[in-house]
C-alpha cells in the first residue's frame, strides 16, 4: 500500500510553530516580493481569500478580519520541511520514503488490514506533529494516484476523518472517485480536464477509471494516460523513486524587489545568482560546462501597468567544466550584456548550470599556474565561512554591495532555526 503525507497549509503551519497564538486564526503567506497569496489557512479560506490572488485585491478584507500576513521565509520553510522528511525516514527507513515536494512525501506501508493501516497512519501523523509542530494529513491506497485522492478527501472533511483516509476496498475506492472531480485527479491538468468534459462527458474520477487503456493511449497522452487509468483501477504503475542524489541541472532565479533598468544592477544580480548556483554545485561535488543566463522583462507601453513578460536566454559552453565561482561569474556576466536592452524594465533574472560532471574527474591544466589549478581550496574556505557566518560574509565584488534590486520581504518572520541572531526567544 502507498500513502502520501501532506503538510497542511505548510507555509502557514511553519509560521504557527513559533507563534502558537495564531492557531485557529486566519493566516496567509505571500509570494516573492509580497505579490500574491501562496498559502492560506482554513480560517482564511472561509473568509473568501483566494489562492494565488494578488495581495492588494484582498488587503481590505485581510485588515478588516485581522488576518496575520507573512512574507515568504524560505530558510524557515526549508529547514522545517527537512525535519518532517527526516522524521519519516526515521520511522520508515530511507528506502520507503520518496520526497515529492517541499510539503509532500510518498511512503510505502506494505500490505495490512484497513484497521492496521489506519493505526499506522495515525502513529505517523502524531509523531510528525509532536516532533516538528507541523500538522499533516495522510491518504492511504493501493496506488499513488488513489493515495492522492484519499488525501484530498481527508482534508475536505477534517472533523470526521481526522485528516486520515484509507481506501482499501473496491467499494471505498469507487465511492471516493465518485466524489472527486476529474480536474482534481493527480496527473490531469486544466486543459485535459476541459477536454475530457467537453468531448467525452467525463466529469469525475470514476468515469475516467471506466475508460479503456486503448482509449487512454489514444486520447490521454499515450503511455502516461495508460498508467493513470491503471492507477485509478488499483494497479500500481507509478513506482516509488529512489532519492535523487545529484541534480542534473542547478538553477538560481529570483524576482527583483523592483523593476531593474540599469545594466550594472542586472550584472550584479546575475553574478549573485551565479555565486549561489556555484555553492550548490560544490555541495554535490560537481562541476558545470554549460552556463545559461535568462532575463525577464516587461515592456508594456504607456503609463498603465500590465504584466506581459518577455523572457530571453543566452548560454555558453566552457572549454573545461568548473565549479569555481570566479570562473563562472567571468563567463556569465558577458551574457547579460548581450541580453540587455536599454530602456527595458527587468523583473527577474536567473542562472542555470548544466552538463554537470563529478569535479574529481577534472584534470589539472599544465598551462595554468598552480594557484589557478588549486582554487578548490579557496572555494571550500569561502563556502565554510559563508555557511557559518551567513549572508555572504565573503563574496565577489561583482555581486554588488547595496543590492537595491533584492527581493522584497517586508513582513518576513525570523529565521528561527537557521540564524543564531534570530533564534526564537521564550520569555
Is residue 265 pLDDT above 80, yes or no?
Answer: yes
Q: Length of the chain in residues, anyone?
A: 427
Nearest residue to 362 (alpha-carbon basis) of 377, 374, 353: 374
pLDDT tens profile 148-171 = 999 999 999 888 889 999 999 999
For residue 303, what pLDDT band results from cuts at 50, 70 and 90? very low
Contact 343, 297 (CB under 8 A): no
pLDDT tens profile 24-35 = 999 999 988 888
Percent of the chain with pLDDT strictly greater than 70: 93
The mean per-residue pLDDT over the stretch 280-308 comes to: 80
Most confident of 116-120, 283-287, 318-322: 116-120
- Identify the pLDDT of residue 392: 77
- Identify the pLDDT of residue 171: 94
104 versus 421: the higher-pLDDT residue is 104
Nearest residue to 80 (alpha-carbon basis) of 425, 422, 416: 416
246 versus 306: the higher-pLDDT residue is 246
According to CATH, the topology of domain 1-166 is: Alpha-Beta Plaits (3.30.70)
The mean per-residue pLDDT over the stretch 100-127 comes to: 94
Residue 275 has phi, psi (to 5 degrees) of -60, -45
CATH superfamily of 180-243: 5' to 3' exonuclease, C-terminal subdomain (1.10.150.20)
Q: Which of 56-65, 108-117, 285-294, 363-372 is predicted with the least confidence, judged by mean pLDDT?
A: 363-372
Rounded Cα distance between 75 and 419, Å, is: 9
- Identify the pLDDT of residue 178: 95
How many other CB atoms are there within 10 angstroms of residue 332's CB atom? 26
Domain with CATH 1.10.150.20 in the chain: 180-243
The mean per-residue pLDDT over the stretch 110-139 comes to: 95
Mention every residue, 6+ apart, whose C-beta is less than 8 A from residue 126.
Answer: none
Rounded Cα distance between 298 and 311, Å, is: 9
The mean per-residue pLDDT over the stretch 385-406 comes to: 80
Q: Which of 201-205, 230-234, 398-402 is predicted with the least confidence, judged by mean pLDDT?
A: 398-402
Query: In whole numbers, what is the pLDDT of the chain averaged over residues?
Result: 89
Rounded Cα distance between 340 and 262, Å, is: 9
For residue 352, what are the β-bridge partners?
251, 292
According to CATH, the topology of domain 250-399 is: Dna Ligase; domain 1 (3.30.1490)
For residue 300, what pLDDT band results from cuts at 50, 70 and 90? low
Question: Global pTM?
Answer: 0.83
- Identify the pLDDT of residue 304: 47
The mean per-residue pLDDT over the stretch 364-378 comes to: 63
Is residue 246 pLDDT above 80, yes or no?
Answer: no
Contact 292, 354 (CB under 8 A): yes
pLDDT tens profile 39-86 = 999 999 999 999 988 998 999 999 999 999 999 999 899 999 999 999
Determine if residue 24 is left, alpha or beta; phi over 0 gives left, psi from -120 to 50 gives alpha, anything else beta. left
CB-count burial class (<10 Å; 0-12, 13-18, 19+) for 240: middle
Domain with CATH 3.30.1490.100 in the chain: 250-399
- Identify the pLDDT of residue 269: 93
- Identify the pLDDT of residue 119: 95
Amino acid at each position: 500500500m502507498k500513502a502520501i503525507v501532506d503538510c497542511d497549509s505548510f507555509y502557514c503551519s511553519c509560521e504557527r510553530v513559533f507563534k502558537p497564538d495564531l492557531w485557529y486564526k486566519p493566516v496567509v503567506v505571500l509570494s516573492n516580493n509580497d505579490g500574491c497569496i501562496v498559502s492560506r489557512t482554513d480560517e482564511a479560506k472561509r473568509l473568501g481569500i483566494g489562492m494565488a490572488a494578488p495581495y492588494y485585491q484582498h488587503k481590505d478584507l485581510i485588515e478588516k478580519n485581522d488576518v496575520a500576513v507573512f512574507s515568504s521565509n524560505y530558510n524557515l520553510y526549508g529547514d522545517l520541511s527537512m525535519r518532517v522528511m527526516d522524521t519519516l525516514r526515521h520511522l520508515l527507513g530511507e528506502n520507503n520514503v520518496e520526497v515529492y515536494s517541499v510539503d509532500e512525501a510518498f511512503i510505502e506501508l506494505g500490505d495490512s488490514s484497513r484497521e492496521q493501516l489506519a493505526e499506522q497512519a495515525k502513529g505517523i501523523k502524531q509523531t510528525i506533529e509532536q516532533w516538528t509542530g507541523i500538522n499533516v494529513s495522510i491518504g492511504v491506497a493501493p496506488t499513488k494516484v488513489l493515495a492522492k485522492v484519499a488525501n484530498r478527501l481527508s482534508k475536505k472533511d477534517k472533523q470526521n476523518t481526522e485528516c486520515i483516509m484509507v481506501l482499501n476496498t473496491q467499494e471505498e475506492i469507487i465511492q471516493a472517485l465518485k466524489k472527486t472531480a476529474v480536474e482534481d485527479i493527480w496527473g490531469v491538468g486544466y486543459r485535459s480536464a476541459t477536454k475530457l468534459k467537453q468531448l467525452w462527458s467525463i466529469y469525475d474520477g470514476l468515469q475516467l477509471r471506466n475508460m479503456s487503456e486503448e482509449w487512454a493511449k489514444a486520447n490521454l497522452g499515450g503511455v502516461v494516460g495508460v498508467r493513470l487509468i491503471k492507477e485509478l483501477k488499483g494497479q500500481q504503475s507509478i513506482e516509488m523513486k529512489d532519492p535523487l542524489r545529484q541534480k542534473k541541472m542547478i538553477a538560481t532565479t529570483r524576482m527583483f524587489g523592483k523593476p531593474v533598468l540599469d545594466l550594472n544592477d542586472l550584472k550584479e544580480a546575475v553574478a549573485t545568482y551565479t555565486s549561489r548556483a556555484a555553492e550548490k554545485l560544490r555541495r554535490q561535488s560537481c562541476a558545470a560546462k554549460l552556463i545559461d543566463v535568462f532575463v525577464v522583462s516587461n515592456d508594456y507601453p504607456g503609463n498603465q501597468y500590465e504584466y506581459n513578460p518577455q523572457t530571453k536566454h543566452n548560454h555558453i559552453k566552457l572549454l573545461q567544466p568548473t565549479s569555481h565561482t570566479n570562473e563562472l561569474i567571468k563567463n556569465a556576466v558577458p551574457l547579460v550584456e548581450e541580453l540587455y536592452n536599454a530602456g527595458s524594465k527587468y523583473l527577474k533574472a536567473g542562472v542555470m548550470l548544466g552538463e554537470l560532471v563529478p569535479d574529481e574527474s577534472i584534470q589539472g591544466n599544465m598551462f595554468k599556474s598552480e594557484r589557478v589549478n588549486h582554487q578548490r581550496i579557496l572555494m571550500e574556505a569561502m563556502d565554510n565561512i559563508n555557511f557559518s557566518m551567513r549572508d555572504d560574509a565573503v563574496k565577489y565584488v561583482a555581486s554588488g554591495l547595496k543590492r537595491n534590486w533584492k527581493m522584497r520581504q517586508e513582513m518576513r518572520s525570523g529565521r528561527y532555526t537557521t540564524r543564531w541572531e534570530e533564534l526564537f526567544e521564550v520569555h
